[in-house]
Amino acid sequence: GQNIDQPTEMTATEGAIVQINCTYQTSGFNGLFWYQQHAGEAPTFLSYNVLDGLEEKGRFSSFLSRSKGYSYLLLKELQMKDSASYLCAVLDSNYQLIWGAGTKLIIKP
Amino acid sequence: DTAVSQTPKYLVTQMGNDKSIKCEQNLGHDTMYWYKQDSKKFLKIMFSYNNKELIINETVPNRFSPKSPDKAHLNLHINSLELGDSAVYFCASSRPVDGFNSPLHFGNGTRLTVT
């Protein structure tokens, strides 16, 4: 079966750095997405990785290792507004998106 | 504003009723989707339409029937509602002609509560 694993919940301090991991086992791989979802709102696109390595976009970076079936989302200089769920999703060989359950990130002052 | 908009935002109804959720996008996207997000926060694809044609139809009860009158609209009709249908339903759109890495744009969701 296809599976995406993420921690259920993480807590971090305002101004700090946090890394949210995602591991996947899917039938084929055509890219990995990270989305942010604030409580009661729609998911919004953060990043896309298809090649190994780090993609940096402001305070957020996303890393991919295809050989390890592993990605992480790195959030720097955390702000209170970063409190949200972060969803990892993989595009499989049929170009279907397989979603993780999301990681709820709690930011404390 | 360019966006994916869905109505209603909240829907409370009794078991056995029939209800519809409407979705419209003015982004010029070719593909639209319906997702269900349950209490455990998993997003599950239900249906996908490309230019009004059904391309993904996951294993959902046939009480759920999508309708796409044109490529900017994808509505979801649910017959004989059951308690287990309570969830948040998200409409989304994308533009796969830009590549399959084209991200999804989601509507704000419809929180359905069946009592």
Q: CA nearest B87 in A: which residue? A: A40
Work out the mean pLDDT of chain A and round it to a whole number: 95
Q: What is the mean pLDDT of residues B72-87?
A: 96
> Which residues of chain A does B104 touch, with a Cβ-Cβ cutoff of 8 Å?
35, 43, 45, 97
Q: What is the mean pLDDT of residues A14-27?
A: 97
Given a cut of 90, whether residue B90 has pLDDT beyond it is yes
CA distance A95 to A21: 22
Q: CA nearest A34 in B: which residue? A: B103
Instruction: Give the closest residue to A90 by CA, choosing from A37, A44, A23.
Output: A23
Strand, helix or coil for residue B63? coil
> Which residues of chain A does B101 touch, with a Cβ-Cβ cutoff of 8 Å?
30-31, 33, 48, 50, 91
Of A29-33, A103-107, B51-55, B95-99, where does mean pLDDT reach its minimum?
B95-99
pLDDT of residue B50: 86
- Cβ of B10: how many Cβ atoms within 10 Å? 9
Given a cut of 70, whether residue A38 has pLDDT beyond it is yes
- Is residue B95 within 8 Å of B30, Cβ to Cβ? yes
Å from A51 to nearest chain B CA?
A: 12
Q: What is the mean pLDDT of residues A57-63?
A: 96
User: With an 8 Å Cβ cutoff, are A30 and B42 in contact?
Assistant: no
DSSP letter for B17, please.
-
CA distance A78 to A80: 7
A with B: how many residue pairs have Cβ under 8 Å apart?
A: 44
> Which residues of chain B does A43 touch, with a Cβ-Cβ cutoff of 8 Å?
43, 90, 104, 106
- Is residue A14 within 8 Å of A80, Cβ to Cβ? yes
Q: Which of A30, A45, A101 sits opposite B100 (nearest CB)?
A: A30
Per-residue model confidence as pLDDT tens digits over A82-92:
999 999 999 98
Work out the mean pLDDT of chain B and round it to a whole number: 91
CA distance A20 to A63: 10
User: With an 8 Å Cβ cutoff, are B104 and A99 in contact?
Assistant: no
DSSP string, chain A: --EEE--SEEEEETTS-EEEEEEEE-SS-S-EEEEEE-TTS--EEEEEE-SSEEEEETTEEEEEETTTTEEEEEE-S--GGG-EEEEEEEE-TTS-EEE---EEEEEE-
Q: Which of residues B56 and A81 earns the better pLDDT score?
A: A81
Å from A74 to nearest chain B CA?
A: 20
User: With an 8 Å Cβ cutoff, are A99 and B42 in contact?
Assistant: yes
Q: CA nearest B88 in A: which residue? A: A40
Given a cut of 70, whether residue B21 has pLDDT beyond it is yes
> Which residues of chain B does A89 touch, with a Cβ-Cβ cutoff of 8 Å?
43
- Provide φ and ψ at A82, rounded to 5°: -80, -5
Q: Which of A35, A41, A99 sits opposite B108 (nearest CB)?
A: A41
- Cβ of B3: how many Cβ atoms within 10 Å? 15
Given a cut of 80, whether residue B99 has pLDDT beyond it is no
